[in-house]
Amino acid sequence: MKKASLELVSAIAVAMASEPYYHLATEAQAKELIDGKLAEFNPDIRDGNKIAIRLTDEGLKMDEAKTGDTATQMTTDSANTNPAAAPTAVPASGFAIIDNATLPGASRGGRNGPVYPFDDLAVGQSFFVPATDDKPEPAKSIASTATSAAKRFATPVLNEDQSPVMEEYKVKGETKTRPKMNETRKFAVKSVEAGKTYGSWTAPQNGALVQRTK
């Protein structure tokens, strides 16, 4: 896949993690993604020759695959040199769960995978993903992961007869239907800076703070 298409996948994933939950791209820019069924346009939303675009499930999986390899590097050494940054709990995943951090803003998203401790988070708890040479901006890398996690915990909205409520959406002008889902968990992702305090937690290095908000 072309480098420009890979960069577009990352840009769409970041956009999907916060309002308005879509990216804008031209048909030429997104042709490789559309042809590969990695993304889909919403032709009802336009800005000049740019059209709203979101990743499909396959696109989200591809973005997760290319960002997950370096995500397991955690902050053990940094915590040893900065006692104030020591985590309150360490689940089997290796990512510390933080009780006392406050996000510097709001965005939301998720991940479908065992690397990050989304399953272990209670509302208000967080975990920290450090920046690395390969991924200097982990908030962007984990955005689609957070989106996928929220989708994984979502449950279908049901009619009285327990059949799924269906909703319409459009792809290339064609109306399709899918089950309507209810988000039971939400996750926010935000960049943090080394040495800065968020709530009563101090970031040991540059990275991303992921917090369960619902």
3-class DSSP string for 12-50: HHHHHCCCCCCEEECHHHHHHHHHCCCEEEEEEEEECCE
DSSP state of 103: -
What integer pLDDT is reported at residue 76 of this predicted model?
41
Between residues 81 and 194, which one has the greater pLDDT? Answer: 194
What integer pLDDT is reported at residue 81 of this predicted model?
43
Q: How far apart are CA 204 and CA 85, in angstroms?
A: 6
Can you read off the two tokens belonging to residue 126? Answer: 């967080």
Average pLDDT, the chain: 80
The answer to whether residues 168 and 174 touch, using CB atoms and an 8 Å cutoff, is no
For 52, other C-beta atoms within 10 Å of its C-beta total 19
**pLDDT one-digit tens code per residue, 63-115:** 877 655 434 444 444 444 444 444 444 455 567 778 878 777 544 444 333 47
Q: pTM (2 decimals)?
A: 0.49
What integer pLDDT is reported at residue 80 of this predicted model?
47
The answer to whether residues 156 and 77 touch, using CB atoms and an 8 Å cutoff, is no
| Cα of 93 vs its chain's centroid, Å | 18
Lowest-confidence region among 63-67, 126-130, 171-175:
63-67
What integer pLDDT is reported at residue 7 of this predicted model?
87
Cα-based angle 96, 100, 101 (whole degrees, multiple of 5): 80
